[in-house]
Structures are given as C-alpha cells and as structure tokens.
Amino acid sequence: MQHIAWDPGAAEVARGLSARLDAPLVLGGYSRLVVDLNRPLRSPESMPAQSAGVRIPGNLNLSPRARAARVAALFVPYHQAVEHLLDVLADRRPLLMSIHSFSPEFGGRWRPWQVGVAYGRDRRLGDLMRNALAVERDLRIGDNQPYAIDNAFDYTLPTHGVGRGIAHVMIEIRQDELRGAAAVGTWVERLAEAYERIETSLLDPL
C-alpha cells in the first residue's frame, strides 16, 4: 500500500478518538505532498520533489514565491489553529496526541509493530500510553519504532508540545490494521481505553 500522499486510516481514527474522548481535533485538509504540515519548512521533505522513489511533478522547480504561497495558505493557518486551541485550553493542562499510520513494509523489510508510540526528549505521555497499550499482551508495540520524534524532521510536537511544556505523543498504526470501518473502530476503542487507563495527574508541567 502506497501512502506517499497521506496516511491511510489516520484521519478516521483521529475523528473517532476525538468523538470517543470528547476531545478537540485539528485535521490537515491537504496532501502532505503540497506542504507537509508536520515537517520543518527547512526540511527537504516539506515539499518533496520525490517521495519513496516517486517523482512529484508539481513540486519540481518550485519558485520561492510558489513555496511561500503554500506556506501562507496551508501551513501557517493549520499551526495557528493548533496554537489557538492550546491557548484556549491552557488552564485545563491539555495533552497533545498526533495520529498517523505507517506502511507494513519499508525498503523490502516487514515492520512487525502493529502500533508505534513515539516521543522525543519528553517521554512522559509516551511511556504512559505504551504501558497502557501493553495490557494487551499479544499487541506488538514499537517503542519509538518505526519512527521517533526528531526536531530535524518533525514540527508539530516539537513546536506545540515541547515548546509549551505540554505532554505529547505520536501514535503510528500499521496500515494493514486499519482496513475497513470495523478495524478502525477497534483501534479507536483500543486507544481510548489505553488513554483512560493512564493517570494524567502524573503529567506535571516540565
């Protein structure tokens, strides 16, 4: 399954989890090939000329003006929406969760994890979510696998999570686990139950 333009199933899980936990949600409305909302603008993957070996014609030889137009129209409003929401919720000590999906294979190798829990230097929420998910003993959970949070490649959580001292985590679900509404529903419930198991009072501000 190719997912160079978007993360299949991630939006459906995010919507379901938002409804299940009565939590606000900010979704990107455009393909990451136009501008990746979760990459620093300095990153070559922000508006990539190729992805997974596939050329992206619309991104070849982009002028500075064209790049700036995408940033102004898409990147900036998305992150302003996140900032505004966190400002509104500041007194309630919000947590920040980012939902993604990953391909079952990469570089010809099978990825064994059904779900990955990713974090950077702030592992507070990551540790709690991973341990809560591990209640299902047969669930294969990646600890910063297949991805970790890195300031050179990630933007949303380092900016809005680390930057504010808000506990945060990135959840990556393997895409073959999200085929169909029933499978998505299973993951919504699994993540909601894991979140409800954790003791959020342990998440004191940094």
- What is the SS3 string spanning 142-153? EECCCCCCCCCC
CATH of 10-202, one of 3.10.20.30, 2.10.60.10, 3.40.630.40, 3.40.630.10: 3.40.630.40
Cβ 132 vs Cβ 197: under 8 Å:
yes
pLDDT tens readout for residues 187-198: 999 999 999 988
**Strands ordered across the beta sheet of 141-143:** 96-102, 168-174, 115-118, 141-143
DSSP assignment of 47-90, as one string? S-SEETTEE-GGGTT--HHHHHHHIIIIIHHHHHHHHHHHHHTG
- The pTM score is 0.92
pLDDT per residue of the chain (206 residues) written in tens, 0 to 9: 456 788 999 999 999 999 999 999 999 988 999 999 999 999 999 999 998 788 999 999 999 999 999 999 999 999 999 999 999 999 988 999 999 999 999 888 999 999 999 999 999 999 999 999 999 999 999 999 999 999 889 999 999 999 999 999 999 999 999 999 999 999 999 999 999 988 665 565 55
| 165 torsion bin: left (phi>0), alpha (psi -120 to 50), beta (else) | left
**Tokens of residue 38, six digits:** 């979760």
